[in-house]
Amino acid sequence: MPQIIALSGSPSPTSKSARLLQLAVDELQARDIRTEFFSVREVPAEDLFHARFDCPAVQRLAARIAKADGVVIASPIYKASYPGVLKALLDLLPQKALQGKTVLPLATGGSAAHLLAIDYAFKPVFAALGATHLLAGVYVTDAEFASAAIASGDGLQLPDDIRRRLHDGVTGLVDAIRWQEHLRAQAEAGLPSPVRRALGG
């Protein structure tokens, strides 16, 4: 069964991005995908500030990512980039922590002007960490959150358009992971990959 790590990069306990991440987790679990949640707030601030690579919380996250097939990373966008605490955490992960992983970025921000932050701020870091497949991601503005209804017991209820975008992002993540599983199974069985077959190899 595929396993996903859901990483919240917001320092706020009432983060919109964390709520968006929870909706993604709910959909993954509805598809019987095993998902573990981790927040940057679980890492002591002092360990982040002093770049302590031996921090138990960081080592725990690294071990979970190593066993995972994919990662969903959610973060707010502040001043055209993501929070420094998230960058500090990513810097403490092993050199190729995301190697072989499919990554779905989720972001929230004050306006649509920060939409491209997913491309110019997130993706270079994920690539440097060795991510195999970087998905397009989902971005939600504060105005879109403001128009959303908050259900008393079910948390944030986003408009249908946002839910469709989130659904498409999660679907892309699951499809990419299952395709990688298919290729691994073929390799273990000694079968040529579809690409090699197409090339006559």
Domains along the sequence of the chain with CATH? 3-198 (3.40.50.360)
Backbone angles phi, psi at 164, to 5 degrees: -65, -45
- Higher model confidence: residue 124 or residue 185? 124
**Is residue 90's pLDDT more than 80?**
yes
Closest CA to 126 of 168, 51, 75: 75
Kindly indicate the confidence band of residue 199, based on its pLDDT and cuts at 50, 70 and 90: very low
**Is residue 186's pLDDT more than 80?**
no
Sign of CA dihedral 37, 42, 45, 51: negative
- Mean pLDDT score of the chain: 85
3-state secondary structure of 169: helix
Distances (CA, A) of 110 to 17, 21, 75, 126, 145: 12, 17, 12, 23, 10
- pLDDT number for residue 65: 96
- pLDDT number for residue 49: 93
**Highest mean pLDDT, choosing among 13-22, 113-122, 188-197:** 13-22
3-state secondary structure of 87: helix
Cα separation, 44 vs 52, whole angstroms: 10
- pLDDT number for residue 85: 94
The percent of residues in the chain predicted with pLDDT above 70, rounded, is: 89
- pLDDT number for residue 197: 52
Mean pLDDT of 54-68: 96
**Rounded to 5 degrees, what angle do the CA atoms 108, 111, 114 make?**
70
The 10s digit of each residue's pLDDT in 116-169 is: 788 888 889 999 999 988 998 999 887 777 665 444 334 556 777 888 899 999
Mean pLDDT of 62-80: 93
Do the beta carbons of residue 67 and residue 97 sit within 8 Å?
A: no
- pLDDT number for residue 105: 95
Burial 186-201 (b: 16+ CB within 10 A, else e): eeeeeeeeeeeeeeee
The DSSP line for 37-84 is EEEGGGS-HHHHHTT-TT-HHHHHHHHHHHH-SEEEEEEE-BTTB--H
**Is residue 198's pLDDT more than 80?**
no
What pTM, to 2 d.p., does this model score?
A: 0.85
